[in-house]
Each structure stands twice: as C-alpha cells, then as structure tokens.
Amino acid sequence: CASQSSWTAQASSQMAELKTQAAEKLPDPPEEILLPEGWKQTLPKEQHLWVSKALFSRDASGKLKLTEALQLWWSPPGPQLLYSQPPAFPDPFFHSRLFLWMPCHMWAYRLPCANPNCRRLGNYLRPCGLYNTVRRVLDMSGWYFMVTEYLECCSCRKKVAGWSQDILDQLDPIHREKFPAVLTYSQTPGKSAMSLYRHLCVRHKEKWLAQSAEYLTVLDKFQDLSAVTAKLPQMMPVPSPSLLLTVYAKDVLTRLGEMKARVTSIYGSILKMVSTKK
Ligand SMILES: [Zn+2]
C-alpha cells in the first residue's frame, strides 16, 4: 500500500499547488461599496469606492455607519505614485472632492421647525440621517459633489435638507461661511454671463486635459496595454451662459441688499454665485 499512499501524497501536493496558482490568478473580489442607496443612484459610479472607504463602515449589526471623524471637505486619494502595471481604469485620475454639510450634527444646533405652530411651541429639528441625493456643484475648474444631512421636526415630522436656505439662514456667521461659495463674478475677467461661461470652459478644459495627460503618461510607460479597455471619461459640459445668468439673477433677487450666498439647484446641479463684496 506504500505506492498508494505516495500517490495520494503526490496528488494532494499537486492539488495544493493548483489551489495556490488559482488563488494567485483570481482577481481580487470586488470591494463592497458602502453607500446609502440614494447616493449610489446619484453619485457617479467612478466615485463610489473612494467615498465608500472614506466615509462608511458597518456597525456590529451590519448597518451602514457614517464615520465619527467628520470633516467638511473630503479629498479623493488620487492616482498611485507608481504603477507596476497599467491602471485598468482611469477613475483615480478623475475623482472629484466631496463636501459633507451636516451643520446640526457637526455643531449640535437645535434649530426651530419652520412650521409657524411648531416655531411657537419651540419644536426643533433633529438629524435623521443623510439626505438621499448627492448634488454636483459647479466649481471654477471642475465640479465637486455635495451631500448633506436630513433633519426632521420632532413634532410635525416635516423634513428638510441641511443645505436648504432656511437652515443656512439660521446658522452663526462663522459656520455659515463654511458653506462653500463657488463662483464669483469677481473671479472672472469680464462681468457678463458670456465671459464667465468662456472663462469656465477654459478652466474646466485645462483641468480635464491635465488629468487626461497624467493618466496617458502613466499608460505610456507600459508596452502591453491589452488589459486597458476603459475610455477616458467625457468632460462634463459647463452650464450655458443663460443658465448661469438665471442663477445669478435669482441670487441677486433673493439677496435684496443682504450679502447672503444663495444656493440654487437646477437640473440636479447646484450653481452658486456670490457677487463681489463692495
Ligand atoms: Zn414641525
């Protein structure tokens, strides 16, 4: 029976070797994306992994948990410094920043509910999780993403998003100032919507070209690019001059002399402008 046992030993060692090879060759299982369902729908797919890793984990019961180390601005890790093989996707070269706006959670505000009856009775809003929609916000040389908390009246159950004007207006100026002002006419050479539009187009294009160039430079170092199938992402178009003007006009109308920054949401994006403080 000696030959039998040596055959078995040989077979099992071969089997182990095969298993090791298989383990080496198998690609890593896709990492679990921990994001609220609404975010998965509204945040572009290429941003999912880094936002998931930066902001979320699972608690002991398996529920999605927001990190306790909160901050307003979150920067993506960006591309690796060195690549030993061509990056399969250009995503890290095109990631955008994320702004997390949770004034009540972050600074422990107890803001009154806007309902007149509630206001009279002193009913307040309490944080009830994250708002389901991610907003894309126009910036000088690109876009960033904005997310916020959802607040609920403890009595009438009315809900409001943390970035709503009613909430912003009630914050201390120090906190209010932290809400990002995105575009100012003072940052542009001309004063018209058309010159702002042209300026934005140039800056957006420059940024996109720089990101593309960095990605292509990395690919250029490799001979075999057969594993690289992903295309460069499209540049997100800058909103039209008339849309920029509409937002600015609304901004001026709603400020009525007060230098309040104004958020206007159009077509799922926020365009925000503050005129020069004279
Ligand atoms: Zn209420």
- Show me where the domains of the chain are located: 37-274
The pLDDT value recorded for residue 147 is 95
5-30: pLDDT as tens digits? 555 566 666 666 666 655 555 666 67
Mean of the per-residue pLDDT values of the chain: 81
24-43: pLDDT as tens digits? 556 666 788 999 999 999 99
What is the spatial distance between Cα 161 and Cα 167, in angstroms, rounded to a whole number?
8
What is the spatial distance between Cα 159 and Cα 149, in angstroms, rounded to a whole number?
10
For β-strands 125-130 and 135-139, DSSP reports them as unpaired
Q: Which two tokens stand for residue 56?
A: 């979320």
114-139: pLDDT as tens digits? 999 999 999 999 999 999 999 888 88
Measured in Å, residue 121 CA sits from the centre of ligand 1 at 9
Measured in Å, residue 56 CA sits from the centre of ligand 1 at 30
41-87: pLDDT as tens digits? 999 998 999 999 999 999 999 999 999 999 999 999 999 999 998 88
Measured in Å, residue 167 CA sits from the centre of ligand 1 at 14
205-232: pLDDT as tens digits? 999 999 999 999 999 888 888 777 778 8
